[in-house]
Amino acid sequence: MKVLLIGGSGTLGKDLSPVLAARHEVFAPPHGANGLDLASADSVRRALDAVRPDAVVNAAALAEVDRCEREPELAFQLNADAVRWLAVACAERRATLVQVSTDYVFDGGKGSPYLESDRPRPIQVYGKSKLQGEVNALEAGGRALVVRTSWLFGVHGRNFPNRVLQAAREGGEIKAVTDWFGSPTSTADLAVVLGALLEKGATGLLHAVSPGVLSRMQQAEEILALRPGNARLVPVESSSILGLAARRPANTSLASERLAGLGIAFRPREEAVRDFVAGYTPPARQP
């Protein structure tokens, strides 16, 4: 297939690009004036007309939760309106759209992993904008798959596990929340699953996460057990964290009612964490 990958330079995109390229012809235009501008419907249409893809995978988003709260118009423009333009353009050109979404469409109050059949109830702008993006993707009239995932971590980009490993190497304090829970998911593993879903022609709504439910504290402990060092792990409760613009849901762990039926499964999370720790590269120091 010809696959247009949007967000190829992001944390997930950098793992997804080589997985897709192993079996398909992948086009990953840069973001901005010389590439694809998701904030412009015309730019989206031009990109699809230039590539004529069989499928489009959108791994781009404004994912900074507090920034979304401070800039709601921008959040909805990039996470919802852009998806509508993309979905309509895909439907008109008979291209399949794969839209990556988030566990933050839920309020965190269920107390157990959310399934695809659970009703979303986001509590902050980020979740609301991503939920509207899901609706826009699925209601445009074309072939679309929305994949929700949770607590992504990988060797690329900035994420909590990377900060834990940096502290283990260099020393420093890591505050880890004991009462926020999710389903930590390797971007490398999610990339493989997304590639399999695309090839199987899956559509609709689907949850895709590594197995298991952890708190941020437990996640940090799991990582440091594999790479002990000089990090000082400080357990904190979410109620003690001040200055956040957006509310965080307490437990947005996910599980899937559909994935096994498609013959797709994640490997054990522990294996993914071992590979992540082994592949960690310290960030380059600024001159």
Which sequence positions are flagged as catalytic? 126
Q: Please tell me the distance from the alpha carbon of residue 123 to that of residue 75, in angstroms, as a whole number.
A: 14
| Burial (0-12, 13-18, 19+ Cβ within 10 Å), 274 | middle
Phi/psi for 194 (5° steps) reads -60, -40
Place of tokens 């996470």: 79
Q: Please tell me the distance from the alpha carbon of residue 97 to that of residue 142, in angstroms, as a whole number.
A: 8
Closest listed residue to residue 93, CA positions, set 144, 29, 24: 144
| Burial (0-12, 13-18, 19+ Cβ within 10 Å), 157 | middle
Q: Please tell me the distance from the alpha carbon of residue 216 to that of residue 160, in angstroms, as a whole number.
A: 8
| Alpha-helix residue ranges (DSSP H) falling in the chain | 13-21, 41-51, 65-70, 72-76, 82-93, 125-138, 160-170, 187-200, 216-226, 269-279
Q: Please tell me the distance from the alpha carbon of residue 198 to that of residue 264, in angstroms, as a whole number.
A: 12
- 25 beta partners: 2
Expressed in angstroms, the distance from the first to the final Cα of the chain is 43
Place of tokens 């607590």: 151
